[in-house]
Amino acid sequence: MAATRGELGDKLSNLSLFADLSAAELESVAHIVDERRFAEGERILRQGLSGSGFYVILAGEAIIRVDGKEYGRLGRGDFFGEISALLGDPPVADIVAARELHCAIIPGPALEQFMVGHPQVMFRMLQSEARKLRTATRWRS
């Protein structure tokens, strides 16, 4: 069952990605995003084939798989799909629900306008991307 827009705004307010937004901005965001639940084992993004959306995990856990090999897991507050949504390229990994997964989704074509309209969210997303890059390149130092 989908949450009401007020409930969705409350869920978003508890995630670091949206922590800088006012109550009014959160309510506005709750009206922009779609909400969806995925069953355990359901593939949300398919490596190299399809997918165009920015997914924020509200609850549950997802597995990142590349060529069938697990590369990590994502949980509440994590997001995925940003690379293909921003670049217009097919996803570089499969994203599979490890257990029931509840996501807020911004369709790919709407992501640029959303980020420009919510620079605090864009900044938090860039911080997260920088942390991922640092982790991925840490082995070099």
pLDDT tens, position by position, 5-42? 778 888 999 999 999 999 999 988 988 899 999 999 99
CA dihedral 113, 23, 15, 52 (to 10 degrees): -20
Q: What is the separation, in whole angstroms, between the first and last Cα of the chain?
A: 47
Model confidence at 2: pLDDT above 70: no
- The pLDDT of residue 138: 83
- The pLDDT of residue 135: 86
Residue 137, Cβ density class (10 Å: 0-12 exposed, 13-18 middle, ≥19 buried): exposed
- For 102-121, the pLDDT digits (tens) are 999 999 999 999 999 999 99
Whole-number Å distance between alpha carbons of 38 and 62: 10
**Model pTM above 0.85:** yes
